[in-house]
Chain A
Amino acid sequence: MSTSALGRYAFINAKLRSRIGSMLDDRQVEQMLQSQSLEELLNLCKGTPYEPLLDLYDQSADIQRLEAWLFSRSVGLHREVASFMSGTHADVVTAMTRKLEVENLKGMIRLWFSNTVKRQNIDYRYGYLFQKEIVSEIDWERIVNAPRYEDIVTALARTPYGEAAARFEGASLAQSGLFPLETALDRVWVSLLWSVVGNLPADDRKLVKQVLDRDADLKNIINLVRFGYLYDLSSDTLRTLMLEGGTVSSTKEFDSYLACPKEDRSPQALVARRFPDLAKQLQEAGAMTTERQTLLVERYLFAVRRKSFRAILRGYPFSFGVILAYFYLEDRQDALIRTMINGINYGYRAPEIREFAL
């Protein structure tokens, strides 16, 4: 490894690892899971990175505000990490930040859809969405207040999402719902990420490609099972859902999965070669409901993902891996906090929340 990699990652590696070290440990999580009320949970956040949630709740008693804070924290962390890097490396982090931008954009368009197409009152809900710049200069107010879909397309014209948005029309979206548009936007950020990853130095490029390929495979399998097996989407629609990268969508199992009539699709056959353990588990599960099988597939693949990020963290420290692992862990921790907040607020007990969260 060249010394430039050491120079590039020495600071960020130390900084991110120290943050990883101060993340919630198992004991804290267990204690939080046992909380009897939201106030108790938030009191336990004292001294953790989530301490501001306590004050926010005290000011508003509004858990949606807490979720909004978690999102803005995540945006802040991504932008901060990007500011620690330079050149292509910063571009890659910025491209990763686009995932959050797309999530926010989808949230805005959903609000617009509810208000304009479904004629529902969106009232204060806009206030929970992130309204500042994430990566591109997007006029969020213009999107949420757009009288027609075409105005959203115009608002996005100077952003990377303009082209994808322009492929749809308001009338067709009113018929089909937002799902096709949302998946198209997802593909935009993934494609943007792939385009900058190619500029990374060889070692980093290899590592990031591996992670992206694996993530694409996992996401594609989950989509194929969830939408092709659980919700019976057509083969053509499924094909458009596939994210760039990975190998799953170019296998013969994929082709035969799509070629099957909907009722004959088998998740077991789809994953048999790539994840024989999972196939075995599905076989052993036997007469499980479709929902349970889908859940089993998702859990298994999430566990695979978790394991691989742990391996990255244990590996060579001066690489882009530390950034990928850090974002993964932060994301997971945020999801855990979000689940606990909602679970405890709605009166769920520790075992149920644990099942959702871990």
Chain B
Amino acid sequence: MNVFTVPMKLLTAVVLDEATDAVKKTLLSLGVLDFIQVSHLAPDQAYRLTKSTEGEDPQLHAQLRTRVETLFQQAGRTVFPSEKLDPKNSQPLDITGAKARLDKIGSDLGTIREQQKQLSQAKIRVEELFRYVADQKTQYIDIRVGSFEKEGAQVVDSRLANIAHVFLEPQEWKDSILLTLKRDRQQVTPLVENLRWTENPDGKRHHEAMMMLKADLEKRLGELESANNEIKRKIVARIEEEIDALEDLWCDLRLRELLGEISRNFSHTRNTTIFSGWVPKSASANLERAIRDASGGACVIEWTDAEQMPREEVPVAVPDIPLLRPFQKLVDNYSVPEYGTINPTPFVAVSYLAMFALMFADAGQGLAILLLGLFGSRKKPAFVGTKRPMIGPDMYRLFIYLGASSILSGILFGSYFGLPLFPPVWFDYHGAVVGHDAMGRNVYSILGITIWFGIVVIGTGLLLNWINLVRKRDWFHLVMDKNGIIGGWLFGCGAWAAFAFVGSGYKTLPEGVFLPLAFGIPLLILFAKVPLHRSMARKAGHEVEPKSFASLVMDSVMEWIVDVLEIFSGFLANTLSFMRVAGLGIAHVSLMTAFMQMAELAGGFYAPLILVLGNVMVIALEGLSAGIQALRLNYYEFFTKYFTGRGLSYDPIALHPHAGRQIR
């Protein structure tokens, strides 16, 4: 397994103009080239090159594509058909036709939406009437029971069309029922009088009418809901009717956009096209062959090794290790490593799991997390159109790892859902915290273990940094930086002296000349940091600001003070920061102990209930807390030692959207 970033090569190719289109399509199909402008490589020749002036407006393509995507989304599709993208099938695009098609669909949908809006307004009317009838708020409604001289329901409904009303002609009644709002009386009364309404004087009928109205309004609400659902189906159906054409259009537009993007990276001479870009070394032979095939051999291809280019200009890809994907996300979330340096992912995997395991050492609870992870991983991906789940597949996979690490540490410390069901393999963590016999261990032993753990993590970080610096041939920082050899040496000596001091019962430091020399010599060397840096910069041909001797001494003293403070306080704080691992572990035990005691006090039926609830709470809260703290320790105490995050992400132009940086 390569622990460094993926080696890259720089391609520069010249092809004849007539082969440009074929080459563009090939480059897009392969999707491995992260373009750079040729003028950037040879600025002195830039004036001889012209940029591509292909006519189509890229914004127009993007706008039309967004319109198509909005239609997809209205039809409940959130995943676009990128698998259908095939540059070989790329046809000339009829923009006017595409616009007309989209306008037509938009106009049809507008008509349907207008119907939906009217339904929505009708619903508001019916809801208000229903509320008054159901709550018997008769002060706001007029209920008429009687009959019109000659008009039937249709005429009445049409005359009252713009007024909230219900007109019923119950089959078993001779009379009709008319429900209106009192506030509309001024409009309703003349209409009703015109139609010659005769009111039935039997007051009892009003009560029955109220019941019938309530049932009818309820039915109307249901019908409106169904009608609205029907409208939504119509919208989907209208889009689905043209879904194939829309998918084709989306593909054409997307291809145009991507090919246009490639074109914008091309430069031209009178008869040739020149382009350049980065590609993983492993894909370079395949790419060269494909360009030669596409151009019928009429091309010139040159390769430049990444080592010959400034490191900060080389894009960074990391190997895709399927097992470590959840940890890759943690790294991506932080930043991009520099080209040619160590890929932090495998190291994060180990340190993150170890930290979590120390903070959450319980085999039973670990099993619960593991099962949650397994269950989540087996879940099918969310249906298209639904919201993205808060916990994705990578997170569930992380749960599996975290659960497994907790099981392992739980077995080491003999904790199973907070109970000592089996003897510990290493020592009794619970016993050490609560003061029982724990093979001579106590809280201080736990703190000591985590401090050692911190020293190992920080030491590993420093070692990785030295490897990175050697690979970067940055000898100055390798020696003089606070995370370089001098910093590391002082850290090691500090740790040794501190343990010796604690070992003496907090009384004395190690005697003899070793300690003063071990601290003194590196500190003296550090004093030379500023002049050395200036001298190296001058040798490398960089411009160095002229300074007087006094000013140089002043700069050196200031830099020295800052470095010394940073080294001593920084490493001390970094190391002590790992005590949170013990803190979380102790809190975990204390919480479980508290729940045990509560269960004992409650007894009977409540005891198991308290234990179950206690475990659930601890898994949720402590699990989250341990996960966050482990992440924090990795980001702030481990990454800061070797991970500069100054890398440039590898981002090829490809058919399928992907992170780009992970290379299979």
- Which residues of A are in contact with B by a Cβ distance under 8 Å? 34, 36-37, 39-40, 43, 58-62, 65, 115-116, 119, 121-124, 126-128, 141, 144-145, 147
Contact between B232 and A58, CB atoms less than 8 A apart: yes
> Considering the chains assembled together, what is the distance between the CA atoms of A127 and B164 in angstroms?
12
Chain B residues 177 to 202 lying within 8 A of chain A, measured CB to CB, are: 181-184, 186-187
> Considering the chains assembled together, what is the distance between the CA atoms of A37 and B120 in angstroms?
20
> Considering the chains assembled together, what is the distance between the CA atoms of A141 and B127 in angstroms?
13
Known A119-B187, A121-B162, A126-B128: A141·B137 in contact at CB below 8 Å: yes
Contact between A37 and B70, CB atoms less than 8 A apart: yes
Contact between B228 and A147, CB atoms less than 8 A apart: no
Contact between B228 and A59, CB atoms less than 8 A apart: yes
Question: B74 near A: Cβ within 8 Å?
Answer: yes
Question: B116 near A: Cβ within 8 Å?
Answer: yes
> Considering the chains assembled together, what is the distance between the CA atoms of A226 and B68 in angstroms?
45
Q: Smallest distance from the beta carbon of A58 to chain B beta carbons, Å?
A: 7
* 28 pairs of residues in contact across A and B, judged by CB atoms under 8 Å: A34-B63, A36-B66, A37-B67, A37-B70, A39-B73, A40-B67, A43-B70, A58-B232, A60-B116, A61-B116, A61-B120, A62-B117, A62-B120, A65-B120, A115-B184, A119-B187, A121-B162, A121-B184, A121-B187, A123-B125, A123-B162, A123-B163, A124-B125, A127-B127, A127-B128, A144-B183, A145-B182, A145-B183
> Considering the chains assembled together, what is the distance between the CA atoms of A124 and B129 in angstroms?
11
Residue of B nearest to A121 (CB): B162
Majority secondary structure, B binding face: helix
Residue of B nearest to A31 (CB): B66
Q: Smallest distance from the beta carbon of A325 to chain B beta carbons, Å?
A: 30
Q: Smallest distance from the beta carbon of B429 to chain A beta carbons, Å?
A: 35
Which residues of B sit under 8 angstroms from A121, Cβ to Cβ?
A: 162-163, 184, 187
> Considering the chains assembled together, what is the distance between the CA atoms of A145 and B232 in angstroms?
34
Q: Smallest distance from the beta carbon of B236 to chain A beta carbons, Å?
A: 11
Contact between A124 and B67, CB atoms less than 8 A apart: no
- Which residues of B are in contact with A by a Cβ distance under 8 Å? 63, 66-67, 69-70, 73-74, 106, 113-114, 116-117, 119-122, 124-125, 127-128, 137, 139-140, 162-164, 181-184, 186-187, 228, 232
Which residues of A sit under 8 angstroms from B114, Cβ to Cβ?
A: 61
> Considering the chains assembled together, what is the distance between the CA atoms of A306 and B69 in angstroms?
36
A43-B73, A62-B121, A124-B125 provided; 16 other pairs, C-beta below 8 A?
Answer: A39-B70, A61-B113, A61-B114, A62-B117, A62-B120, A65-B120, A119-B187, A121-B184, A122-B183, A123-B125, A123-B164, A124-B164, A127-B124, A145-B140, A147-B182, A147-B183
Residue of A nearest to B71 (CB): A39
Contact between B74 and A39, CB atoms less than 8 A apart: yes
Residue of B nearest to A57 (CB): B113
> Considering the chains assembled together, what is the distance between the CA atoms of A40 and B70 in angstroms?
6
> Considering the chains assembled together, what is the distance between the CA atoms of A59 and B140 in angstroms?
29
Which residues of A sit under 8 angstroms from B119, Cβ to Cβ?
A: 60
Which residues of B sit under 8 angstroms from A34, Cβ to Cβ?
A: 63
Q: Smallest distance from the beta carbon of A170 to chain B beta carbons, Å?
A: 15
Which residues of A sit under 8 angstroms from B66, Cβ to Cβ?
A: 36, 40
Known A36-B66, A121-B162, A145-B183: A61·B128 in contact at CB below 8 Å: no
Contact between B121 and A123, CB atoms less than 8 A apart: yes
Name which of B67, B119, B121 has the most chain A CB atoms within 10 A of its CB.
B121
Residue of A nearest to B115 (CB): A61
> Considering the chains assembled together, what is the distance between the CA atoms of A145 and B138 in angstroms?
12
Which residues of B sit under 8 angstroms from A58, Cβ to Cβ?
A: 74, 232
> Considering the chains assembled together, what is the distance between the CA atoms of A122 and B163 in angstroms?
9
